[in-house]
């Protein structure tokens, strides 16, 4: 009987210790606000002959916003205003874009590593209705690639953005 009790106590002790170990994370949380600063400045992507798409990222207090536009044959054509706010409880960004045609979009996003910003385009900030996913990967301080996937995970677009000096 003593052996059975001792065995049971050792088993429970080992079980409790292993649960405690599983509950700890080896990685510290990423500083989302600091990582978002990688986007600050002006970026462009070559869309086609005589057409360039431009992002102008700026700080707005602790938030960030971007003006976007196309330059077609040297003519600047507004595209959207994009706002990035930070939800401290979720440790994620929530965003809103207003297109020049009056349309809008919302998303929830976060850095999953030092160089990968993962975006889930959602309907009216509802995290349960995802219609598109986007990964922005910083290859260097002066270049990032944006890859877009549909709701089934199929890659539908990939564009490279370069810093404008």
| Confidence label for 165 from pLDDT (cuts 50, 70 and 90) | confident
| Confidence label for 140 from pLDDT (cuts 50, 70 and 90) | very high
Phi, psi angle pair for 59, to nearest 5°: -80, 145
- Residue for token digits 């979720």? 90
| Confidence label for 62 from pLDDT (cuts 50, 70 and 90) | confident
Q: Where are the domains of the chain?
A: 29-163
- Phi-psi region for residue 158, left (φ > 0), alpha (ψ -120 to 50) or beta? beta
Q: Is the pLDDT of residue 160 over 60?
A: yes
Across the chain, where does the E strand assignment appear? 41-48, 51-60, 63-72, 75-87, 92-99, 104-111, 116-123, 126-140, 143-150, 155-163
CA dihedral over 143, 148, 154, 158, signed as positive or negative: negative
Which of the four CATH numbers 2.40.128.20, 3.30.300.30, 3.40.50.970, 3.40.50.2020 does domain 29-163 have? 2.40.128.20
Q: How many residues does the chain have?
A: 165
Compute the average pLDDT of residues 129-151. 97
pLDDT, tens digit, 9 for 90 and up, residues 69-125? 999 999 999 999 999 999 999 999 999 999 999 999 999 999 999 999 999 999 999
Helix locations, 66-133, DSSP H = none
Please indicate whether residue 47 or residue 138 has the higher confidence score (pLDDT). 138
Phi, psi angle pair for 114, to nearest 5°: -60, -30
pLDDT, tens digit, 9 for 90 and up, residues 2-27? 444 344 444 434 433 444 444 444 44
Q: How many CA atoms within 13 Å lie on the side-chain side of 55?
A: 25
Helix locations, the chain, DSSP H = 2-22, 32-36
**Helix or strand holding residue 26 (H, E):** none
């Amino acid at each position: 009987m003593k052996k059975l009790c001792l065995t049971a106590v050792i088993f429970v002790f080992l079980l409790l210790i292993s649960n405690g170990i599983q509950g700890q994370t080896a990685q510290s949380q990423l500083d989302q606000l600091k990582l978002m600063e990688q986007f600050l400045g002006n970026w462009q992507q070559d869309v086609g002959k005589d057409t360039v798409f431009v992002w102008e990222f700026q700080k707005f207090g602790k938030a960030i916003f971007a003006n976007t536009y196309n330059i077609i044959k040297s003519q600047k054509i507004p595209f959207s205003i994009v706002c990035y706010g930070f939800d401290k409880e979720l440790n994620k960004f929530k965003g809103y874009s207003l297109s020049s045609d009056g349309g809008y979009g919302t998303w929830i996003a976060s850095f999953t590593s030092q160089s990968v910003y993962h975006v889930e385009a959602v309907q009216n900030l509802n995290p349960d209705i995802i219609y598109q996913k986007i990964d922005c990967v910083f290859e260097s301080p002066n270049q990032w690639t944006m890859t877009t996937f549909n709701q089934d995970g199929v890659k539908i677009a990939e564009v490279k953005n370069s810093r404008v000096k």
